[in-house]
Amino acid sequence: MLYFIGLGLGDAKYITVKGLEIVRQCSRVYLEDYTSILWYEVLEHFMLPAADQLYGDADFIFQQDLAPAYSTKATSTWFKDLISKGNAKFTLATTHSDLVLRALNAGIQYHVIHNASIMNAVGCCGLQTVSIVFWTDTWRPESFYDKIKKNRDMGLHTLCLLDIKVKEQSMKNLMRGRNIYEPPRYMTFAQAAEQLLEILQNQRDRGEELAMTQDTVCVGLAQIRAEVQTIHSGTLQELMSCDLGGPLHSMIISGHLHSLEVDMLKLFSGPEGLKTLKMTDSSTYVS
Binding positions for S-adenosyl-L-methionine: 9, 92, 117-118, 162, 249
Residue 82, H or E segment: helix 73-84
Question: CA nearest 148: which of 195, 191, 204?
Answer: 195
Please enumerate in sequence order all residues whose Cβ is within 8 A of that of 269, keeping only pairs 6 or more positions apart, or say none.
232, 233, 234
Does residue 168 contact residue 182 with C-beta atoms inside 8 Å?
A: yes
CA atoms within 13 A on the CB side of 30: 24
Phi and psi at 196, nearest 5°, equal -65, -40
Question: CA nearest 221: which of 264, 268, 261, 285?
Answer: 268
* Residue set of the binding site: 9, 92, 117-118, 162, 249
